[in-house]
């Protein structure tokens, strides 16, 4: 029985939360391994809608949730999310959630620096979520981060804050932003410590035990391959590796334990924030997709940019992300469109490319090359079996499989948990 890693195959918001929630019924443990509260995963369960940013989606199914060392944790955001879902009737306790003691913390100064830098970039801004994700990962790599385990050692916290502030206050002052006071920050952290520490442990040990006992582990990715700091549309990316390989290093388990890699892609394409988007539609069809797909950022509230399915982009994500099967979501949003286009490559300087070029200038200049397929007048919304799908929808899905060079193993036809068609159980490997 394989474990499963779920990762986004476009620019995020593909419906990872819904798919992880659905698959979690077959898993024992759900693990977040990268990103932070920049993620926004929406789960619709009957008349309840859960919007999770940091908490693993499996908690909603009563499964053990683990936040791995690869995640950057804003302790205040974590506690307020626990309180928010608690008010919805979902109790999150140290018995249901474990947090890696080695995970770096996001502090208020990280969000301040994130926003100050974006403001200074002006027109050239990345369009970050402003939550301090980038600066927190920078501190981790620079070896000056404060980590969860440090909260248990108040005696050394003050010195650690000194080192951190030497760096950050210099930058913040240079950007004309307010600086931070060590004593205030220390008080804030000391007050948070007793609330956070009961969740903390070396999660690698628990994962090792679970693996040896044959428990099923579901790794929940955040963001997506095209936002990966190495493989995405750099510099318009997030600051973590979002590919499935990170499930291992971001949780403390060997790569062989990651199991089947399920990529999630929308049946069209969206992007929040700035950066190249070759198949973007700025016309009425783009607006229609946005309206019907309710394409508003879970975290930012910003309207998502919409466009046609880009098979060249997803094929690239399949290759670099190690995707073995694709879950195609939001097929229902395409209902009623007379014809559909699929991006199959790019034209650049007279040449035909089957992949995105690496430089942002070339990515922005790449013209999409399309293939046109017939749409379907019927509704696919809520379809729960392959036989319920109209023939042109089946043809559309089959063509996507050929172009991206991966089988579609799961289809989603509404935000609802059970409106899902399973072609191949990823836990069967
Ligand atoms: P994530 O970040 O990948 O978890 O995705 P988000 O939750 O940010 O965005 C996906 C949105 O699409 C959510 O509002 C989901 O409820 C919704 N959704 C997921 N699957 C489907 C589907 O098959 N059809 C429709 N219409 N909506 C869906
Ligand atoms: P989920 O998990 C979509 C985007 C931001 C910005 C870029 C960098 O819900 O799919 P950051 O704050 O991470 O430094 O911003 O990445 N971004 C996302 N876009 N879905 C997400 O998460 C995202 N997380 C970050 O909009 O363009
Ligand atoms: Mg999202």
Nearest to 344 by CA among 299, 384, 306, 399: 399
- Which one of 21, 37, 41, 332 is the catalytic residue? 41
The Å distance, Cα 403 to ligand 3 centre, comes to 25
Average pLDDT over residues 337-347: 98
- Chain centroid to Cα 160, Å, comes to 30
Instruction: Identify the residue whose C-alpha is closest to ligand 2 atom 15.
Output: 128
Q: Could you read off the pLDDT of 151-167 as tens digits, one per residue?
A: 999 999 999 999 999 99
- Of all protein residues, whose CA lies closest to atom 10 belonging to ligand 2? 12
Measured from the Cα of 329, ligand 1's closest atom is 23
Ligand index nearest the alpha carbon of residue 37:
2
Mean of pLDDT values over 318-333: 98
The pTM of the full predicted model, rounded to 2 decimals, is 0.97
Domains located in the chain, CATH noted: 4-101+199-260 (3.40.440.10), 108-196 (1.10.300.10), 266-428 (3.90.170.10)
Find the 41 Cα to ligand 1 centroid distance in Å: 8
What pLDDT is attached to residue 298? 75
Q: What does the pLDDT average to over 257-261?
A: 97
Q: Is 13 a catalytic residue?
A: yes
Q: Which residues line ligand 1 (CB under 6 A)?
A: 8, 12-18, 40-42, 44, 294, 298, 329-330, 332-333, 412-415
Given a cut of 90, is residue 287 above it in pLDDT? Answer: yes
Distance from chain centroid for Cα 204: 22
Three-state secondary structure of the chain: CCCEEEEECCCCCCCHHHHHHHHHCCCCEEEECCECCCCCEEEEECCEEEEECCCCHHHHHCCEEEECCCECECHHHHHHHHHHHHHCCCCCCCCCEEEECCCEECCHHHHHHHHHHHHHHHHHCCCCCCCCHHHHHHHHHCCCCCEHHHHHCHHHHHHHHHHHHHHHHHHHHHCCCCCCCHHHHHHHHHHHHHHHHHHEECHHHHHHHHHHCCCCEEEECCCCHHHCCCCCCCCCCCCCCCCCCHHHHCCCCCHHHCCEEEEEEECCEEECCCCCCCCECCCHHHHHHHHHCCCECCCCCCECEEECEEHHHHHHHHHHHCCCEEEEECHHHHCCCCEEEEEEEEEECCEEECCCCCCHHHHHHCEEEEEEEECCCCCCCCCCCHHHCCHHHHHHHHHHHHHHCCCEEEEECCCECCCEEECCCHHHC
Annotation says 114 is catalytic: no
Q: What is the pLDDT of residues 64-74, one digit of tens each?
A: 999 999 999 99
CA of 326 to the centre of ligand 2 (A): 21
Q: What is the mean pLDDT of residues 331-339?
A: 97
The pLDDT of 302-324, averaged and rounded, is: 96
Q: What is the pLDDT confidence band of residue 301, given thresholds at 50, 70 and 90?
A: confident
């Amino acid at each position: 029985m394989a474990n499963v890693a779920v990762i986004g195959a476009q620019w995020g918001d593909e419906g990872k939360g819904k798919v992880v929630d659905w698959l979690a019924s077959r898993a024992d443990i759900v693990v977040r391994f990268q990103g932070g509260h920049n993620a926004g995963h929406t789960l619709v369960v009957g008349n309840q809608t859960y919007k999770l940013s940091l908490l693993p989606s499996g908690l909603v199914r009563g499964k053990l949730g683990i936040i791995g060392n690869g995640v950057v944790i804003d302790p205040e955001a974590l506690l307020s999310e626990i309180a928010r879902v608690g008010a919805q009737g979902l109790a999150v306790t140290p018995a249901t959630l474990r947090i890696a003691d080695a995970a770096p913390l996001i502090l208020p100064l990280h969000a301040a620096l994130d926003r100050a830098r974006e403001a200074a970039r002006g027109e050239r801004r990345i369009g970050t979520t402003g939550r301090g994700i980038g600066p927190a990962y920078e501190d981790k790599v620079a070896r000056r981060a404060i980590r969860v385990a440090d909260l248990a050692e108040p005696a050394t916290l003050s010195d650690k804050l000194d080192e951190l502030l030497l760096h950050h206050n210099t930058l913040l002052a240079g950007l004309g932003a307010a600086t931070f006071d060590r004593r205030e920050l220390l008080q804030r952290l000391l007050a948070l410590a007793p609330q956070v520490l009961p969740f903390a442990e070396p999660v690698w040990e628990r994962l090792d035990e679970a693996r040896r006992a044959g428990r099923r582990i579901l790794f929940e990715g955040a963001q997506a391959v095209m936002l990966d700091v190495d493989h995405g549309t750099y510099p318009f990316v997030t600051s973590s590796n979002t590919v499935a390989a990170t499930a291992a290093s971001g949780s403390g388990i060997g790569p062989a334990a990651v199991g089947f890699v399920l990529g999630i892609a929308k049946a069209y394409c969206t992007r929040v924030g700035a950066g190249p988007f070759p198949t973007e539609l700025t016309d009425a069809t783009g607006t229609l997709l946005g309206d019907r797909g309710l394409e508003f950022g879970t975290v930012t509230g910003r309207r998502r940019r919409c466009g046609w399915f880009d098979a060249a982009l997803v094929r690239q994500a399949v290759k670099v992300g190690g995707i073995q099967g694709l879950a195609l979501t939001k097929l229902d949003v395409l209902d009623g469109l007379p014809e559909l286009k699929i991006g199959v490559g790019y034209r650049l300087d007279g040449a035909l490319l089957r992949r995105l070029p690496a430089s942002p200038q070339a990515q922005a200049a790449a013209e999409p090359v399309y293939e046109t397929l017939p749409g379907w007048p019927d509704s696919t919304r809520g379809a729960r079996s392959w036989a319920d799908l109209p023939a042109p929808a089946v043809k559309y899905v089959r063509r996507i499989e050929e172009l991206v060079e991966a089988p579609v193993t799961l289809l989603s036809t509404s935000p609802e948990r059970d409106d899902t068609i399973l072609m191949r159980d990823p836990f069967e490997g």
